[in-house]
Amino acid sequence: MLIFKEIQLLPEIFLGISIIYLTIHGTFSSVNTKYLLIQNSILYLSVLTVALFCYLLVNNSIEYKELQVFNNTITVDFLSFSSKVWIAFMSIFCFLMSQRYITVQKINYFEYSILILFALLGVFFICSSNDFITAYLSIELQSLSFYILAAAKKDSAFSVDAGLKYFILGAFSSSLFLFGSSILYGVSGTTNFEDLKNLFSLMHTHPSNIPTFENYTFVKQVFLNESLIQFALVFIFVSLLFKLAVAPFHLWSLDVYEGSPSSSTFFFAVVPKLAIFVLFIRIFYSGFFEYVNKWRYYIVLLAILSVIVGSFGGLEQRKLKTLLAYSSISHMGYTLIAFNTGTFEGLQTLFCYLFLYMVVGLCVWSIFLVLQLKYKYLKKQNKDLADLKSLNKSNSILALFFSTALLSVAGLPPMIGFLVKIGIFLVSIEASMYLVAIISILCSVISTFYYIRIVKIMHFESSVAGTLYHPIRFNTSILIVCLFYFLLFLFINPTLVYLISHKIVLLLTMTAI
């Protein structure tokens, strides 16, 4: 009896076919003079597509089983399932919150929403990749879409410059990933994570159990090339750190965040981080766990450097998007600390932190997008901190929501951000990384300054005339209220993210055994 295991990829197949149909719909609608403004139509259809994708994921129940499809290049398990559901949920909010900004900025290209869907398809395949070739193709599908999204505003020199910088450095990081993968293939003869895991675990634990002389010779040759394997892993590791904008590979993110359209920056900052960490876990915790003691020290150094750069770099910033970019760098450092512990609690805290980071980032960037300044500089959309002056007088509810989200991401008690950040410190102490915990705690206190400064400007900055904003649409305000109450729910009952992350790590360790 033939078992169609590939049906497990029905959500991705549906999304790919829907992208083709949406492209055809947009192409024919754009040449019709009756439908000149087609961006909203494609955007709502994209939201419907992602919602149906999420429904297919939930309907395709994945509990305690792990399936390998397409010649073991793609894995379907609870880790990929939960990550894709969370990313799809966040993406729907990104689409809806970006609608007004896209309209105001006159980005009336139906390709804009199509490119976001292409990037989402790449992100979903990154979550399910079980092979270096599949991972590379997925990263390239995501990255190529991001390059064009960064340069989407064609009449802005800043946007085109951001797209070119993103393209050059992104292509460089992708070449590092491909080069490291080719070295591993030359040494081991395979690019599959599962095969590499079996090969290296057998080589390090029971090399005498190799059944034939030829296989033993092959394994011995691999054993002699361990330095070459570590050399290849360095290239792959650096490439993924480029994607996460971890210091010292973060310089591209400052200009790209500032120069790109805010709706594109919104998507860069919120959506793809979780998928890259899922790929990190599949490579370094599944395929190359035997080398954990060799690469752990480098991750610690880069994590500390990212926390320091993100904390001190944002102190002098006056531009809000650049400040949020430095904030993202520091948060990636905290997640690397949890990732580096190598314990069950460390991975659980990692997923808790990533889930909360995405929710808070969604709330912060949503409020950033809806604040449309009302004065003669209509083309000015990148906000300085002074543009938030006296927001409390213009819209006290929005100022309260913004302050709550910022204090949560800063980790001030009793917000939910405090609980997950203190979890990072506790797991690092349990892993005997005392110096790392002390430095990260001190940097967390320092970085709190620029979050509190934004709150101070919104509520207590004195001015002769306050800044005026355009009124917020009703449907947009409903979305922001929903985000705020979801953040408040996580503060009252944080067990939701803890239970999800505990189940992910539990099933991950069970399948690893």
Calculate the average pLDDT of the chain: 80
**Both tokens of residue 400?**
């309260």
pTM assigned to the model:
0.88
Which pLDDT belongs to residue 375? 60
Work out the average pLDDT over 188-210: 68
Residue 86, exposed/middle/buried by CB under 10 A (0-12, 13-18, 19+)? buried
Which pLDDT belongs to residue 121? 92
Beta bridge partners of 68: 75
Does the structure show a pLDDT above 60 at 217? no
Secondary-structure percent of the chain, ordered helix, strand, coil, rounded to 5:
80, 5, 20
The answer to whether position 197 is within a domain reads: no
Residue 483 belongs to domain spanning: 292-513
Work out the average pLDDT over 148-176: 86
The answer to whether position 282 is within a domain reads: no
> E-assigned strands of 101-160?
none
Which DSSP string do the residues of 234-278 spell out, in sequence order?
A: HHHHHHHHHHHT-TTS-HHHHHHHHHS-HHHHHHHHHSTHHHHHH
Does the structure show a pLDDT above 70 at 148? yes
Q: What angle do CA 362, 368, 370 make, to 5 degrees?
A: 100
The answer to whether position 433 is within a domain reads: yes
Q: From CA 36, how far away is CA 40, in angstroms rounded?
A: 11
Which pLDDT belongs to residue 49? 92
What is the per-residue pLDDT across 474-487, written as a single tens digit (0 to 9) for each?
A: 667 777 777 777 77
More confident residue, 298 or 179: 179
The answer to whether position 353 is within a domain reads: yes
Work out the average pLDDT over 215-241: 72
Which pLDDT belongs to residue 158? 82
What is the per-residue pLDDT across 252-311, written as a single tens digit (0 to 9) for each?
A: 888 888 888 888 888 888 888 889 989 988 888 776 776 666 777 888 888 899 999 888
Work out the average pLDDT over 8-23: 88
End-to-end Cα, the chain, rounded Å? 29
Which pLDDT belongs to residue 123? 92
Does the structure show a pLDDT above 80 at 463? no
Does the structure show a pLDDT above 60 at 212? no
Specify the 3-state DSSP secondary structure of 479. helix
Which pLDDT belongs to residue 137? 92
Does the structure show a pLDDT above 70 at 222? no
The answer to whether position 468 is within a domain reads: yes
Residue of 335, 164, 156 lying closest to 240 (CA atoms): 335
Q: How many structural domains are present in the chain?
A: 1
- The residue assigned the tokens 């139509």 is 41
What is the per-residue pLDDT across 309-356, written as a single tens digit (0 to 9) for each?
A: 888 888 888 888 888 888 888 888 899 888 888 778 888 888 888 888
User: C-alpha distances in angstroms, 103 versus 39, 41, 465, 480?
Assistant: 8, 12, 28, 19
The answer to whether position 229 is within a domain reads: no
Residue of 131, 132, 27 lying closest to 73 (CA atoms): 131
Work out the average pLDDT over 382-387: 69
What is the per-residue pLDDT across 46-71, written as a single tens digit (0 to 9) for each?
A: 899 999 998 888 887 655 466 777 78
Residue 503: CB atoms within 10 A of its CB come to 17
The answer to whether position 99 is within a domain reads: no
What percent of the chain stands above pLDDT 90? 7
Within 13 Å and on the Cβ side, how many CA atoms surround 344?
11
Work out the average pLDDT over 355-364: 86
Q: From CA 392, how far away is CA 23, in angstroms rounded?
A: 43
Which pLDDT belongs to residue 467? 60
Q: From CA 489, how far away is CA 482, in angstroms rounded?
A: 10
CB-CB contact of 298 with 389 (8 Å): no
The answer to whether position 60 is within a domain reads: no
Length of the chain: 513
Does the structure show a pLDDT above 50 at 211? no
Which pLDDT belongs to residue 488? 78
Which pLDDT belongs to residue 197? 77
Q: Is the dihedral of CA 317, 318, 320, 322 positive or negative?
A: negative
What percent of the chain stands above pLDDT 70? 85
What is the per-residue pLDDT across 107-139, written as a single tens digit (0 to 9) for each?
A: 777 888 899 999 999 999 998 888 889 999 999
Does the structure show a pLDDT above 70 at 1? no
Does the structure show a pLDDT above 70 at 378? no
